[in-house]
Chain A
Amino acid sequence: MNVSFFFEVLIGGLLAGVMYSLVALGFVLIYKASGVFNFAQGAMVFFAALTFVSLVERGVNFWLALVITLAVMVVLGIATEKVVLRPLVNQPPITLFMATIGLTFVLEGLSQLVWGSQPHGLELGIQDVPMEWLSKSTGINISQFDIFASGVAGILVAVLALFFQYTRIGRALRAVADDHQAALAVGIPLKHIWAIVWSVAGFVALVAGLMWGARNGVQYALTFIALKALPVLILGGFESVPGAIIGGLIVGASEKLAEVYIGPMVGGGIESWFAYVVALLFLLVRPQGLFGEKIIDRV
């Protein structure tokens, strides 16, 4: 057993996990502030990436395209809040969840209708090649791109954590997540808050879309990333920003390690379900996730 190979796989897995965390962050934001599990997050990632890439391909400047896409995501967030969430405001969470499934399909159809369905490449200027000095000195190959992505994710998480903890809007968001009625009672404008949250989630989706798009290309399969974020959320809890990161790391690492070391024994392809089974086993022990709050049923 090659130690440096093990580290390579482990670190590669951890970094892949960071990419999952990027997507999970969007879920956490929306759930934290509105109690809605937004199944459409994956479609939002896809939509953001596709819009950006299509603009760039049509000759729009990189930064301008970024701004325009962000604006589009904000509009999308506001529209979603008005059309989907507000009419369903008192319904049980399951109903809201199913509404976001519907939203997913709408977004998927819309994205491809407007921009077409061919895959696109996305260039961010950083190559997916091993860092030379690292491989030369230790024999471990770690992609430059992966390092860059985790750097971006790290910055994003830090910014979001600070935002929630220290700004007035962040506090308002946390208040809303805890108790809608109470928040209303102290004068927090619920509708504005939700529009803000969905827009921030849209921004996070854009960042995630750029990272994933650069790595795997912008194509329909991107929507399935959302599904991978689910085990991450279960491990890290639906309401915790640091939980999303840690959950992502665990999922990424365990998935890669399992695929490399257990996979060959059972025919490979474990990655399709391993993360889910890990999450499932975890749920049996701790139904509320690593960072979640215990649910108490009162009669």
Chain B
Amino acid sequence: MLYREAGQFKSTYAEDQQIFPIRQDRVAMVALLAVAFVLVPLMANQYWLSAILTPLLIFALAALGLNILTGYAGQLSLGTAAFMAVGAFMAYNFVLRMPWLGVIPSFVLAGLCAAAVGVVFGLPSLRIKGFYLAVATLACQFFVLWVIQRWGWITNNSASGVITAQKMEILGYAFDTPVTKYLLTLALVAAMALLAKNLMRSETGRAFMAVRDMDVAADVIGIRMMHTKLLAFAISSFYCGVAGAMYAFCYLGTVEPEAFNLDLSFRVLFMIIIGGVGSILGSFIGAAFITLLPILLSVLFAGISHLLGVEIPHAVISNLELIIFGSLIVFFLIVEPHGLARLWQIGKEKLRLWPFPH
């Protein structure tokens, strides 16, 4: 009875096309943003801000990028980490060699570099589909990492390929505490999520989904394959690149090429499978889930070992984590292939009727 649309009539198409057509959703969104921007920085401790929330947002952005490519446009990609790496290392280089640019423009340029790499490695998608394409993206993943490891210029000739991200300063204001880093990340991610949502509900998004659902038919009605697929790769890689830059600057601080390995690509893929492919909200839910799950598990096991008075070795916990991850993937694919986002939607549908049964 709280979540009722009664009385909310939409008299213009503009009203119908809103991101949140139902008033309760709009209120909830505003409240969420208020909590995220104001309450959290005031109340959360350093650990939560720097080790949980900030990486969660960054991964959400990467998951968003992958979702645009794989979820909306249907092009399976296992090269997410490579695009993030390009973003991270190029951002480092822009800030290093052109410090007058500023942090945000450097991130944007780094994202554009990642987009360029994405377009090049997206070219095979014009001829190859399905998991053949996944293998092509693996080529990208391995090759890009190899280049970063071998090419001295990109790591400023650092001995082991390790780079240290510089301090971020915007208009003279330094962003070097957990709170300021968190707020910067939040602002960027929120802005980019809004852009992505706008994009996916307009013609570009429809073209992506058409190519995903039946590309031959899309071609026949006039949607250009090459343009659409390459645009998907470009936009997706841009998002992953910016996420990678933030990964280095707002979270890790010190980065090595190995941090962007195949495991990371799989992690992001799991986020969108569990969260929901083809859903902006799903990217956030999936990222939250995958980021919080290890913490949940270690808390759980700490509790169990405390209860039983037995020390559970760390190796056991990390192996159990692997097993649970894998099982969850299989579980979600069987039970709800559209992920948690769909379950959320179903929940909202039920909430519209609550407390009445029909």
- A residues with a Cβ closer than 8 A to B are 37, 83-84, 87-88, 91, 93-95, 97-99, 101-110, 112-113, 116-117, 227, 230-231, 234, 266-267, 269-270, 272-273, 276-277, 279-280, 283-284, 287, 297, 299
B325 touching A269 by the CB < 8 A rule? no
Give the residues from 309 to 357 in chain B that come closer than 8 angstroms, CB to CB, to chain A: 315-316, 319-330, 333-334, 337
B142 within 8 A of A: yes
Cβ contact of B216, chosen from A101, A266, A267, A299, cutoff 8 A: A299
Q: Say how far A269's CB is from chain B's closest CB, in angstroms.
A: 6
CB closest residue in chain B, given A113 = B319
- B residues with a Cβ closer than 8 A to A are 76, 124, 127-132, 134-136, 138-139, 142-143, 145-146, 149-150, 216-217, 220, 262, 266, 269, 273, 315-316, 319-330, 333-334, 337
Q: Say how far B176's CB is from chain A's closest CB, in angstroms.
A: 35
CB closest residue in chain A, given B318 = A109
A284 touching B326 by the CB < 8 A rule? no
Q: Give the number of A-B contacts (CB < 8 Å).
A: 125
CB closest residue in chain B, given A231 = B135
Q: A91-B333, A112-B315 are in contact. Are A234 and B135 (CB under 8 A)?
A: yes
A284 touching B323 by the CB < 8 A rule? no
Q: A102-B328, A109-B319 are in contact. Are A266 and B262 (CB under 8 A)?
A: no
Q: State the CA gap A83–B327 with chains docked (Å).
A: 10
Q: Say how far B134's CB is from chain A's closest CB, in angstroms.
A: 8
B150 touching A273 by the CB < 8 A rule? no
The residues of B that contact A87 with a CB separation of less than 8 Å are: 334
B136 touching A98 by the CB < 8 A rule? no
A109 touching B320 by the CB < 8 A rule? yes
B220 touching A277 by the CB < 8 A rule? no
Q: Across the A-B interface, give the 7 residue pairs with the lowest CB-CB distance, nearest first.
A: A102-B329, A109-B322, A105-B326, A106-B326, A276-B139, A109-B323, A273-B142
Question: What are 11 residue pairs bridging A and B, where the CB atoms are less than 8 Å apart in the complex?
Answer: A37-B131, A95-B333, A105-B325, A105-B329, A108-B326, A230-B138, A234-B132, A269-B150, A276-B135, A280-B124, A283-B128
- Given contacts A83-B330, A106-B327, A276-B139, 18 further A-B pairs with CB under 8 A are A91-B337, A97-B134, A99-B329, A102-B326, A102-B328, A105-B326, A231-B135, A269-B146, A273-B143, A273-B146, A276-B135, A276-B138, A276-B142, A280-B124, A283-B124, A283-B128, A287-B132, A297-B216
The residues of B that contact A112 with a CB separation of less than 8 Å are: 315, 319, 322
